[in-house]
Amino acid sequence: MSVTIGVLALQGAFAEHISALTRFSSPSTSASLKTCIHPIPVKTCSDLLRCEALIIPGGESTTMALLARLNGLLEPLRDFVKSGKPVWGTCAGAILLANGGGQELLGGVDISVERNGWGSQLESFETELHMIGIRNEDVPFRGVFIRAPLILSLTSTGGPDSEPITILSRIPLSHLPNSRIQLWTAPENGPCRRLSEDDPRLIVALRQGRKLVTTFHPELTLDDRILEYFVKNCVLDDPEEALDI
């Protein structure tokens, strides 16, 4: 069995995702795939038509949306997302998959986001995260946050046509940069309030149906466990059949 996974290659960290997919599917890795993964860069509509799943990388979301429109890809990408095929958005990709965010979006995931919610490039940081469902989930995953978006709210109505959202990872309060704690607990307009562990702004990874969102950059590490999770649980939708570990 072979599955073609495309990586939107208009701008951003698409090369890192393709490298990770190639590394992950190589026989020299510790995971022996029952399914052959075939990664391809997606720059045209014909590229997209070859894909059974798609990764939208980190980068600059407004630039990606503009380039997608200029290349005639914006509507085909929206159709791809609406079709129910597996899609993973990281950082800028998470912004584009959100149903609310104040810019030209693809939609498909019931969240509202804020661009650069973790601060500027200078406020980028790394921290250890615990993510449920990945292999060896008791071992922390190193989250790389670079001008990362914030998930402001979950907008799912919970109706019969709305797939449930599974929260996979939150950033611990103790891991927040001090500047973010000060900003969130003392807003310019309104009373100060203590940031709680269940605040949606602490969510950094979630899944809705066959769509995966991470606000950080897993592809900038050599840890392929989140990629493995995407392949097993979203692309193949059959964790038992996906891998021999």
Where in the chain are the domains? 2-244
pLDDT given for residue 130 in this prediction: 96
Mean pLDDT of the residues in the chain? 85
Mean pLDDT of 129-148: 94
Tokens at 64, concatenated? 């990606």
Q: In the 8-state DSSP scheme, what is residue 119? A: -
pLDDT given for residue 228 in this prediction: 93
Query: Which of 46, 57, 149, 65 lies closest to 106 in space, CA to CA?
Result: 65
Q: Dihedrals φ, ψ of 239, to 5°?
A: -55, -35
Among 26-30, 125-129, 205-209, the minimum mean pLDDT is found in 26-30
Of 70 and 159, more confident: 70
**Percent of the chain at pLDDT above 90?**
60
Task: Measure the CA–CA gap between 129 and 198, rounded to whole angstroms.
Answer: 15
Tokens at 121, concatenated? 């490039």
Q: How far is CA 177 from the centre of its chain?
A: 21
Q: Any idea how long the chain is?
A: 245
Task: Measure the CA–CA gap between 186 and 124, rounded to whole angstroms.
Answer: 21
Mean pLDDT of 80-93: 95
pLDDT given for residue 39 in this prediction: 95
Which residue is catalytic, options 16, 17, 51, 219?
A: 219
| The CA-based dihedral angle spanning residues 211, 215, 218, 220, taken in that order and rounded to the nearest 10 degrees | 140
What are the angstrom distances between the C-alpha of 127 and each of 195, 208, 216? 19, 24, 10
Asked if the model's pLDDT at residue 213 lies above 90, the reply is yes
Beta bridge partners of 33: 243
> How would residue 111 be classed by pLDDT, with cut points 50, 70 and 90?
very high
**Coil/strand/helix, residue 154:** strand
Which residue is catalytic, options 217, 228, 234, 240?
A: 217
- Residue entry with tokens 């950080």: 216
pLDDT given for residue 238 in this prediction: 63
- CATH fold of 2-244 reads Rossmann fold (3.40.50)
Among 14-28, 127-141, 209-223, the minimum mean pLDDT is found in 14-28
Q: Is 91 among the catalytic positions?
A: yes
Of 132 and 122, more confident: 132
Which strand (E) or helix (H) includes residue 205? strand 203-208
Of 4 and 180, more confident: 4
Task: Measure the CA–CA gap between 107 and 161, rounded to whole angstroms.
Answer: 15
Asked if the model's pLDDT at residue 242 lies above 50, the reply is no
Which residue is catalytic, options 16, 17, 91, 234?
A: 91
pLDDT given for residue 235 in this prediction: 95
Cβ contact 193:185 at 8 Å = yes
Q: Is 219 among the catalytic positions?
A: yes
DSSP code per residue over 85-104: --EEEETHHHHHHEEESSS-
